Amino acid sequence: MDHKDLIVVLDFGSQYSQLIARRVRELGVYSELHPFNISIEDLRALRPSGIILSGGPSSVYARNAPHPSPEIYALGVPVLGICYGLQVIAHQLGGKVDSSARHEYGPAKLIVERPADILRGFRPGAAHAAQVWMSHGDALTKLPKGFSTLAHSSNSRFCVIRDPVRKIFGVQFHPEVAHTPRGINVLKNFIFTICRCHPGWDAGSFIEASIARIRKTVGGGTVLCAVSGGVDSTVLAVLLQRAVGARLHCIHIDNGLMRKDESSQLVRLYRERFKFNFHHIDAGNVFLKKLKGISEPEQKRKIIGETFIRIFEKEARAIGGAGFLAQGTLYPDVIESVSYRGPSHTIKTHHNVGGLPRNMKFELIEPFRELFKDEVRRVGIALDIEPFILKRHPFPGPGLAVRIIGDITKEKLELLRSADAIFNEEIRSAGLYETVWQAFAVLLPVQTVGVMGDQRTYENVIALRAVTSVDGMTADWAQFTPTFLSKVSGRIVNEVRGVNRVVYDISSKPPSTIEWE
């Protein structure tokens, strides 16, 4: 992305790595996450104004521990190491990290000795100790040459360190998390005072830079964009339309796994409101046939992803000359799908990332790969897209297939659609739609006994799931009132044939995920 100022975050595998980049963007400076082992040439080519080394689960001494190229310290670009980042700096520059040190997890008090550089504006002394969040096993026991201490905690002698000549800094705590209330000041000091960045990044500048980049990549080519009706693909398509105009073809593949009436609403939206070059493909039967008898969640995702791209390729051939495929992949999709950057773990294969067939014939365009959902919504607002579209709940690419536990049939889809529609209808009419991140019904593969009108029944269970979340990475179950829940449950059991029991999912993420599969 071509921005005047860029802060590169090198990812050492912390769950917070992207949060650091996001905090920097919130301060108005563009930031991207890159793998810890990015080559020095590639790093230099990005022309960063500053480099932040993230935390990570490893010990610097461990075999295969992630180490960045030592040349990063000689680039003349300020470096800030966070937690593992601090330790790796010390390790590479001749300090000492002790793995037998006392562990420190959770809140701690930071006692500032010298309120300089990244601690500018902090007050020194124990009386003004600041709360910080720690999460480390190893600890720094000897400073590298050229470094001095700015602050300590009761367990970390070297909690904040600096080499003012080479402009290398390290903090043992996590300034990016909400549990470090003044952490944002540390980041501000680093970005604005040390790296001399100027705030200039916002949704408007993101749009401008993305349009320029898309035009450069695409040249005179044609772009295909799969539109699902979701926020991400809709914002993406509008952005692409601005970049390449009529050379954008939007394709909606109805996989037969959408919610009730959704596909027909989409057709109206895309044809009439956005006036896209719009291709609607009704492929429900193809998907159903391929999914017949398949119960395993990852297999479902792979089949859906593959079928999707094959249909896409066919349509692309029919359109002719399309070399590019745009996708609204977001950062959480990436981190939970493939360890493509740092060493974090694979949780689910989201079909628009890990499930793509390898022999795909398109070049991918993914302008939102670094962003979180709320950041995409802000881009949408700047593109004048209506709130009712931007506030729409996320919906997974594999659709209802991952909400029917077990194999998928037309009958199960119909049943689930009806239950889901009732739940969402009630949520909207109670004014709760915007208070939750997602709300949906799940069809369980069990029958239970019930009694209806003096008759014994042996029918299906519907689970209701509603969560609150900021970015989908973590979530809590929505605390609806018992009155509301009984109304929904009563309607589902009475109105949906084949359901005699409704349960409400009260699990948070983690340890559960939002979707059941």
Q: What residues are annotated to the active site?
A: 83, 174, 176
Binder among 11, 254, 336, 375 for ligand XMP (CB under 6 A):
336
| Minimum distance from residue 350 beta carbon to ligand XMP (Å) | 4
Binder among 472, 489, 501, 502 for ligand XMP (CB under 6 A):
472
Binder among 255, 352, 424, 460 for ligand XMP (CB under 6 A):
352
> Residue 297: which of 210, 218, 225, 401 has the closest Cα?
401
Binder among 152, 188, 351, 417 for ligand XMP (CB under 6 A):
351
Task: Print the binding letters for residues 83-102 with ligand XMP: x by CB under 6 A, - otherwise.
Answer: --------------------
What would the two tokens of residue 410 be? 């037309």
Which residue lies nearer to ligand XMP by CB, 356 or 402?
A: 402
231: CB partners within 8 A, 6+ apart: 373, 376, 377, 380, 389, 390, 392, 394
Using rule CB under 6 A, residue 348 touches ligand XMP: yes
Which residue lies nearer to ligand XMP by CB, 125 or 510?
A: 510
Residues between 381 and 400 that touch ligand XMP (CB under 6 A): 394, 396-398
| Minimum distance from residue 231 beta carbon to ligand XMP (Å) | 11
Preceding amide of 68 cis, omega within 30: no
Q: 487-496: list long-range contacts, CB under 8 Å, 24+ apart.
A: 487/426, 488/422, 488/423, 488/426, 488/464, 489/464, 491/422, 491/426, 492/419, 492/422, 492/423, 492/441, 492/462, 493/452, 495/418, 495/422, 496/415, 496/418, 496/419, 496/422, 496/462
Chain length of the chain: 517
Q: In whole angstroms, what is the distance from residue 212 CA to residue 107 CA? A: 44
Task: Print the binding letters for residues 416-455 with ligand XMP: x by CB under 6 A, - otherwise.
Answer: ----------------------x-----------------
Report the SS3 class of residue 450: strand
| Minimum distance from residue 78 beta carbon to ligand XMP (Å) | 35
Stretch that binds ligand XMP, among 26-34, 215-223, 344-352, 380-388 (CB under 6 A): 344-352
Residues 478 and 469: beta-carbon distance below 8 Å: no
Which residue lies nearer to ligand XMP by CB, 170 or 472?
A: 472
Binder among 301, 302, 369, 403 for ligand XMP (CB under 6 A):
301
Q: In whole angstroms, what is the distance from residue 85 CA to residue 57 CA? A: 11
| Minimum distance from residue 437 beta carbon to ligand XMP (Å) | 7
Which residue lies nearer to ligand XMP by CB, 139 or 227?
A: 227
Binder among 350, 378, 417, 465 for ligand XMP (CB under 6 A):
350
Q: In whole angstroms, what is the distance from residue 111 CA to residue 114 CA? A: 9
| Minimum distance from residue 352 beta carbon to ligand XMP (Å) | 5
Using rule CB under 6 A, residue 256 touches ligand XMP: no
Binder among 67, 114, 182, 509 for ligand XMP (CB under 6 A):
509
Q: Which residues does residue 482 pair with via DSSP β-bridges, in sequence order?
A: none
Which residue lies nearer to ligand XMP by CB, 307 or 438?
A: 438
Number of residues that bind ligand XMP (CB under 6 A): 17
What would the two tokens of residue 129 be? 């100790």
| Minimum distance from residue 396 beta carbon to ligand XMP (Å) | 3
| Minimum distance from residue 439 beta carbon to ligand XMP (Å) | 11
Using rule CB under 6 A, residue 369 touches ligand XMP: no
Q: In whole angstroms, what is the distance from residue 305 CA to residue 7 CA? A: 34
Stretch that binds ligand XMP, among 9-17, 159-167, 349-357, 492-500 (CB under 6 A): 349-357
Beta strands in 48-163 (DSSP E): 50-53, 79-82, 96-98, 104-112, 130-136, 139-142, 148-152, 160-163
Pairing of strands 455-468, 438-452: antiparallel
| DSSP track, 42-81 | HHHHT--SEEEE---SS-TTSTT-----GGGGGSSS-EEE
| Minimum distance from residue 301 beta carbon to ligand XMP (Å) | 5
Place of tokens 């005699």: 500
What would the two tokens of residue 406 be? 């077990």
Which residue lies nearer to ligand XMP by CB, 25 or 301?
A: 301
Which residue lies nearer to ligand XMP by CB, 163 or 515?
A: 515
Which residue lies nearer to ligand XMP by CB, 186 or 283?
A: 283
> Residue 408: which of 294, 256, 262, 253 has the closest Cα?
294
Q: Which residues does residue 381 pair with via DSSP β-bridges, in sequence order?
A: none
Which residue lies nearer to ligand XMP by CB, 152 or 378?
A: 378
Give first-to-last CA distance, the chain, whole Å: 34
| Minimum distance from residue 336 beta carbon to ligand XMP (Å) | 6
Residues in contact with ligand XMP by the rule CB under 6 A: 301, 336, 348, 350-352, 394, 396-398, 402, 438, 472, 509, 513-515
